[in-house]
Chains A and B, each alone.
Chain A
Amino acid sequence: MTGTYLGMPAFPKAAHDAVHDPVLRGNLRHATHTIRAKRARAVGELSDWAALREAGRRIKDHTLRHLDRYLVQLEESVTAAGGTVHWAADAEEANRIVARLVRESGESEVVKVKSMATQETGLNEALEAEGIRAYETDLAELIVQLGKDRPSHILVPAIHRNRGEIRDIFRTEMGEWGRPAPEGLTDTPAELAEAARLHLREKFLRAKVGVSGANFMVAETGTLVVVESEGNGRMCLTLPETLISVVGIEKVVPTWRDLEVFLQTLPRSSTAERMNPYTSMWTGTTDGDGPRAFHLVLLDNGRTDTLADRVGRQALRCIRCSACLNVCPVYERAGGHAYGSVYPGPIGAILSPQLRGTASEIDASLPYASSLCGACYEVCPVAIDIPEVLVHLRERVVEGGPAVRQGNTVVLQPAKGHAAERAAMRAARWAFTHPGALRTGQRLASRTRRLHPCALPGPGRAWSGTRDLPAVPPEPFRDWWQRTRGGKDGAK
């Protein structure tokens, strides 16, 4: 994955900077606490939440375990419905395919709906290098793009910006990209949204090529689903003549009916709504309605490597709801940028090191960016046992061993004595000793203990001991820390 932010310091350094930025901390705290409370209410409305979560987990697991079959079926269905399917083994190939398709359409600009996959591949920069301008149209992405910034949250990429900062960015930057911000723009959210509406409308109306991701792809029908709020998704999916969707191979589900699970769990878990304002579903092309050409680019970019890891593959169940970010005490204090990837928070801590490997300092340190409090597992609508994977990845960083990289089995060297190890240990110490992060972690854990995983593999097993895992931190984590580090590096 090319998404590593160049020159990104390892987790603890970046987290340290974030903690000492009072505006950033205030913005994050406000935002995550607001959404947490709302989400609990939205989930509480469904008496069968646990059954939906279990069904979601099973659908995704089953699909992943037969991924080859479902991808081939999806390809057939999309093709039969008038779409064209492309396969991209890595980020570079995906970007190359998109750039070629845009060039073939004779256009030099595209409108984009927020998509994690294209952020992961660095599509905008790749298109720029080819002389193609990509306009982000999601409000938060627009804020990030205009502010020459990086996203810090899956769902609300500009969560680190407050309204005053957003107004300033709109005032100074909008004119560079198109229609300038209205005179006398204030910082009320409604006015800022209106400014974005005006700025982007001219782009939508003239756009010939749209680029999107997708939340789900249905193998049996070839249907793609995009879940959104603002209507920019609908604009990008229906007004252009050519639509290019770049989607990770793990987004496929077997049947139409499977959507009944995820369309209930995703909106409630992510934006804490019964239903998000807009969901678009399309199957190939439709005469006289929407794009005349539809291209689906199926992206691997480390996903098959992740799939090869029997413990780690569950990370591919993720439906990117971002609930785990919002409850994470470490995320709340460190901020999204500290994770050095488009996938921040707990899911980023298990996904990035698997997609990219643990060779770099930041990736080696990510599995340590957690106090293992388990709150992320509790809220996850597809029951990804994030603590289990974190412990597994820590073991891999420390002890090395076999892993699959770009389709080849390699033997990773233990990180001992390398820069990666030092970075990892600093991250662990940060999450472990940072009083705020740990305290909140413990509080959450004690409230949620019965939902915790029963037993952990690898080093986790040593400290979970019994089948029933008691309150997670601080003892087990400390035990583990002591065992792997032998009390070195001044761990207290």
Chain B
Amino acid sequence: MSSRERILGRVRRALADVPADEVPYEEAVSRDYLREHGRRTTGETVELLAENLVDYRAVVHRCDAEELPLLVLRLLAERGSQEVLVPPGLPPEWLAGAGPVRVHDRAADTAGRLDRVDSVVTGCAVAIAETGTIVLDGSPDQGRRRISLVPDHHICVVRVPDQVVSSVPQALERLDPTRPLTWISGPSATSDIELDRVEGVHGPRTLEVILLG
């Protein structure tokens, strides 16, 4: 007997007490929790996102489409970045200003190559106000998961208010589970040493979020 059959057999014997006509999933699970917490205007939701991002040590900026290229340029310059990683479908106007050398991500790039790049600029799929979370789904303006992971400085552009939802349930509704997803809430952190939160272990130690609207 294969282990698969053995395990499934054990499960079935263990569940001998479960009646065949038990209530189906839809009825068994009560969902009387909230879809979102509190009532807010769209503006207030964006405000809450900004607050919660800051609370978890992300740096938040706001600008409109016209100001964006200069802002990105300034952030890269302040950081002293020589090279910036660019996902394949990043709107070219976001990096319209001159400045650091653009490194276009190619499948052949090794992790070691990515490790020598200073910064990365990406878009996002959705942002969650209640938790201060941005979610990347590997779309062309975000690129492969590794490009927002290996460089130490991540600039993420969120289109507000379109890409902002209030809550975790609303975010899951918008996301496609077949895509690789990365949920990011502040820069990488650890509390492993005496439960003291320290920002920056393996992921980017600086996370800058630009609310574009």
Contact = CB atoms under 8 A, between A and B. Distances in A.
Nearest to B201: A230
Contact of B185 (A218, A261, A277): A277
B11 A307 contact: yes
A62 B29 contact: yes
Interface residues of A, number: 99
Contact of A189 (B10, B31, B193): B193
B143 to A, nearest CB: 8
B144 A288 contact: yes
A322 to B, nearest CB: 12
Interface stretch (A43-51, A175-183, A436-444): A43-51
B13 A189 contact: no
A254 interface: yes
A196 B195 CA distance: 16
Nearest to A261: B33
Contacts of A288: 107, 144
Contacts of A263: 168, 172
A469 interface: no
B195 A232 contact: no
Interface of A: 27, 30-31, 34-35, 45-48, 51-52, 54-55, 58-59, 61-62, 65-68, 71-72, 81, 87-89, 93, 137-140, 143, 156, 158-159, 162-163, 166, 189-190, 192-194, 196-197, 200-201, 204-206, 218, 221, 223, 229-232, 234-235, 238-239, 249, 254-261, 263-264, 271, 273-283, 286, 288-290, 298, 300, 304-305, 307-308, 310, 313, 404, 407
Contact of A230 (B56, B183, B195, B203): B203
Interface in B11-44: 11-15, 17-18, 22, 25, 28-34, 37
> Nearest 8 pairs between A and B by C-beta?
A231-B203, A231-B202, A304-B10, A308-B14, A275-B131, A279-B183, A51-B33, A231-B188
Contacts of A205: 110-112, 115
Contact of A48 (B6, B34, B182, B203): B34
17 contacts: A55-B32, A139-B190, A193-B198, A230-B203, A231-B202, A231-B203, A232-B202, A249-B11, A260-B168, A260-B172, A271-B191, A277-B186, A280-B180, A282-B180, A300-B3, A307-B14, A407-B6
Given A259-B172, A264-B168, A277 B203 contact: yes
Contacts of B107: 288
Contact of B180 (A139, A189, A271, A286): A286
B177 A231 contact: no
B113 to A, nearest CB: 10
Nearest to B196: A189
Given A62-B25, A68-B8, A277-B185, A47 B15 contact: no
B193 A193 contact: yes
Given A66-B18, A204-B202, A307-B15, A278 B188 contact: yes
Contacts of B194: 27, 30-31, 162-163, 189
